[in-house]
Structures are given as C-alpha cells and as structure tokens.
Homo-oligomer: A and B are copies of this chain.
C-alpha cells in the first residue's frame, strides 16, 4: 500500500542544472528524490513526477510533483520532513494526499508562466538572476495589441525550439497579459494555456519585445503562425526571467 502525495514547490533555478535529474549535476528533481528516498528509508529509490521540466536558470513559484510513499504520513508532517532536508533554494509550499490516479503531468489542465523583463539601461546587480534584460525603448501599448493575437488556439511551430519531440504544435492560450511596473521599471508578462512547447514562453517574449521596440509589425504573430518556421521568430528571452507560476488540475 502506497500513499500518493502532491507537492507544490518553489525554487530559485539559478544554481540548478534545470529540473530534470542528470548524473553528477545538481537538479531539483535530484534533491527532491534524494530527500524523499531518505525519509522513506526503505532502500528503494522513490521517483518523483513533475508537471513538466524547467530549464537551467528557470524559476518556479508553483511547480507541482507527485510521488508514491510506502506508508502514510499526515501531509503537514511530510511537508516539514522534506523541507528539513531541502537546500535553501527549494521550498515545499504545500503537501496534499491525492487519489492514486492523480498524475502531476498527465492531469494538467492549464499552466501559468510569468516572465519578468528589466528595462533598465544597465543590468541591475540584484536582478541579474531574476529577470530578463531588455535595455531598449518599448511601447507597451504595441505589446498589448500583439498579445491579443497570442490568445486563442494557434499552431505555435514558429515558437518551438528545435529539438522538441512533439509533432502536434497546436496549443490554446487562455490569457496573455503584460503590466508595466513603474516602480522597478519592469515588464511582467503572464501566459496561461493548456500547454507550452519547449522554450515557447521565452520565444514569445523575445518576439513581443521586438514588437514593442518597433522592429516587428504589431500583427507579426499572424504571419508567424502561418509560416511555421522557427527561424522567423529568432530570439529566445533569457532563462533568468521565467517563472512557472501555477499548475492547474
């Protein structure tokens, strides 16, 4: 008899080689599995399943994972036990016992990503790991018009990094917003959709910034959906600005 736990976790991705386990490299999955395996103390490695991977340098405010535990522990004790073993750049924010057919990846209904862009002329020493940097003039209104073209069901082939293994590249974006925060001179993007291709948010942001800077037509997204060509979208915004904010089931 095992008990399935769902964890909601936050991490600072700066010092991780991404989420997914890799031999001899520090990854979020690696530190989680090591801790849970230690708590279980059965000698068997406990495997963790996430809603999806995040790349090196990408952060999470609400990544979700599940795992099967050989006994039953109340969720709050599980949370405390794991956090005691976590390094300071990972924090379990919530722990729940779920049905044994819950799956952190397969049951995802939608996800929200946030992207922070620092518009300052120079890189801010305190933001270098936590924002992307775009030190060029931006017309936020142009970006807001372009975001209307992002919402909806589209073929995002032009916005998928080469190397992806998924053939079907149609995704639905339910909302796509940007806010300019005057106090810290940042743009904050949020995208909620039923799925995101590899590097898709970062490519969307790079394209949107070029639109805001006037280097692309405001409605260039309509053309990019048609041409289905990654070379046309070119840029990829820095990993450091990207946050997996929430996963919905």
Contact = CB atoms under 8 A, between A and B. Distances in A.
A11 interface: yes
The number of times this chain is found in the oligomer is 2
A147 B124 CA distance: 32
A168 interface: no
Interface of A: 10-12, 59, 83, 88-91, 122-126, 128, 130
A125 B83 contact: no
A124 B130 CA distance: 14
Contacts of A123: 88, 91
Nearest to A90: B125
Contacts of A126: 10, 12, 59, 130
Contacts of A124: 10, 91
A91 B118 CA distance: 15
Contacts of A10: 124-126
A124 B124 CA distance: 21
A27 B126 CA distance: 17
Contact of A88 (B83, B90, B91, B125): B125
Nearest to A80: B122
The 5 closest A-B pairs by CB, nearest first: A12-B125, A88-B128, A89-B125, A88-B123, A91-B125
A89 B122 CA distance: 11
Contacts of A128: 12, 88-89
Contacts of A11: 125
Contacts of A90: 125
Most buried by B among A10, A11, A122: A122
Nearest to A133: B88
Contacts of A130: 126
20 contacts: A10-B124, A10-B125, A10-B126, A11-B125, A12-B125, A12-B126, A12-B128, A59-B126, A83-B122, A88-B123, A88-B125, A88-B128, A89-B125, A89-B128, A90-B125, A91-B122, A91-B123, A91-B124, A91-B125, A126-B130
Most buried by B among A83, A122, A125, A128: A125
